Amino acid sequence: MNYIGRFAPSPTGPLHLGSLVSALASWLDAKAHGGDWLIRIEDIDATRCKPQWSDFILRQLDACGLHSDGPIVFQSRRDSLYLQYLERLMPTRRLYLCHCSRLQIQQLQAQSQPTNTLLANLPSSLNPSVYPGTCRTRAPIQPSDYTDPRSASDDSLSPLLHTHGGANFLRFSQDHSVRITVGDPVIEWSDRLMGSQQQNLNLEVGDFVLKTRDNHFSYQWAVVVDDIDQGVSDVVRGADLVDNTPRQLFLYDLLQHARPRYLHVPLVLNENGDKLSKQTQALALNPAQSSIDLNQAAEHLGLSSSDAPISERLQRWVQAWSQLHTRSCTSATKMA
Ligand code: GLU
């Protein structure tokens, strides 16, 4: 099998121990499978992401001996790709403009009590709420909505949009989010660590956003397009993201693309039981102390710490990881 894995940090701050655990686990899994490991900087939300954090994260990873096997991709430069893929979904007539503000949605959500079973064991702050479907009856978006007919004939539509980097589409959908109708699917898959999982997207999440009101493509959309575009076969990441997996699988299925395999590693929690994050004041990793940090991350993954030089240590952990995690496993199961 052609294994391609990736680590996809959002540069909203420096790496902390929790993010190093995800980086190390994804690197070890790629190497244990004889595969490639890629770094992708998920800086799609310019209001939250800062270039200096991208640089610092890359230095932190470098100090830990974790180097990308291919060019580092930045999501902020890929709008045209995200739009090209979005055009593929338009014939499904599932995309619509949503003008609801966050406040309006919250007010409607407050009247209902959603249950998100995949997050039942995680800190309650991670529970998202269900979109109430307010704008679902609006007409589905089609390319003619945002293409100037004087400058494009139908067969040159995609190249035109490609050249313009999606500018027409972003102008057309300004101040609206673009949501996708989920219908009523139960998404089932098998996580390599957490086992059999399922989620009813309609009851537990609802129609979700592919492009935000402040005019950038959403995490759900960019991550699926990038993983497909980069040929990612295996996603290894923190368990806080497990709740996103059904939405991403739903998009893989709609795009008629083979699903990757998933392995979600246990979260590192602080003494209050909260996930480490900028909000919970998680300590930034100091590149000068990478040896200690790597040992802590390895121990969290059930591997023995060591004083050997970092490159030697990493090789030992690859062996140990192989024994723990490289039994043959099937790819994620399909939508029910
Ligand atoms: N960018 C996401 C984060 O930093 C991770 C995305 C992923 O691994 O799918 O939480």
CA of 39 to the centre of ligand 1 (A): 11
**Looking at residue 32, what is its pLDDT?**
97
Ligand 1 neighbourhood includes 10 CB (under 6 angstroms): yes
Task: Provide the token pair at 57.
Answer: 């994260």
pLDDT tens, 46-57? 999 999 999 999
pLDDT band for position 119 (cuts 50, 70, 90): low
Q: Place 107 in a pLDDT band, splitting at 50, 70 and 90.
A: confident
Q: Does 227 sit in the ligand 1 pocket, CB within 6 Å?
A: no
pLDDT of residue 114: 52
161 contacts 168 by C-beta, under 8 angstroms: yes
The Cα angle at residue 74 between residues 119 and 180, in degrees rounded to 5: 50
Q: Do 31 and 241 meet the contact criterion of CB atoms below 8 Å apart?
A: no
40 within ligand 1 shell (Cβ under 6 A)? no
Q: Is the pLDDT of residue 125 over 50?
A: no
Q: List the beta strands (DSSP E) in the chain.
A: 4-7, 36-41, 73-74, 95-98, 177-180, 186-191, 195-200, 208-211, 234-238, 261-265
What's the pLDDT at 158? Answer: 57
Whether ligand 1 lies within 6 angstroms of the CB of 264 is answered as: no
- Ligand 1, residue 19: give the atom nearest the CA: 4
Cross-strand pairs, 7? 39
Q: What is the 3-state secondary structure (H, E, C) of 293-305?
A: HHHHHHHHCCCCC
- H/E stretch holding 238 reads strand 234-238
For ligand 1, mutation pick of 241, 242, 261 (most atoms within 8 Å of CB): 241
Q: How large is the average pLDDT for residues 144-150?
A: 76
Residue 126 pLDDT: 45
pLDDT in tens, 167-222: 788 889 999 999 999 999 999 999 999 999 999 999 999 999 999 999 999 999 99
Strands 95-98, 36-41: parallel, antiparallel or unpaired by DSSP?
Answer: unpaired
pLDDT band for 333, please (50, 70, 90 cuts).
very low
